Amino acid sequence: QLQLVESGGGLVQAGGSLRLSCVGSGRTLRNYDMGWFRQAPGKERDFVASITWSDGSTDYTDSVKGRFTISRDIAKNTVYLQMNSLKPEDTAVYSCAASPTGRNLRNRYDYAYWGQGTQVTVSS
C-alpha cells in the first residue's frame, strides 16, 4: 500500500512563497504519475499540477502557470510543489495524489492514492 504525506503548508502573505513536499512510503513512486490538487472551502477539489514519473513531463492549470513548479526527486521518493507569487485565491488545502501511469492526470478520479492534505493560507 502506498502512503503519501504532505508537508510545507502554512500562512504566508500575498506575494510570498511556499514549497510543499509529498513523501511516498510503502511503494516506490516510480510506478506512478503524481499530481497536486487543492480544495478551497465550499468548492470542489481542483487540479493544480502533475508530473509523469517516466520522463518528468509537467502540466499546470492555467491559474498557476508561471508561478508554481512541480518536480520530483526519485532518490527521495518525493514530489514537490514550489509556489511563488502566492495570491489570496490560492488559499486551500493542497493534496498530493498518485495515479497509475497512462491516466488522465487532470481528473481526480484517475488517482488511486491520496495524502491527507496540507493547509495553505495566503493573506492579503
pLDDT digits (tens, 9 = 90+) for 19-68: 999 999 999 888 899 999 999 999 999 999 999 988 899 999 999 999 99
pLDDT at 10: 97
5-12 mean pLDDT: 98
Alpha carbon distance 11, 23 (integer Å): 21
Arithmetic mean of pLDDT, 92-113? 93
Closest CA to 104 of 47, 66, 65: 47
What's the pLDDT at 96?
98
Contacts 24+ apart (CB under 8 A), 38-43: 38/90, 38/92, 38/93, 38/94, 38/95, 38/120, 39/92, 39/93, 39/95, 39/117, 40/91, 40/92, 40/93, 43/92
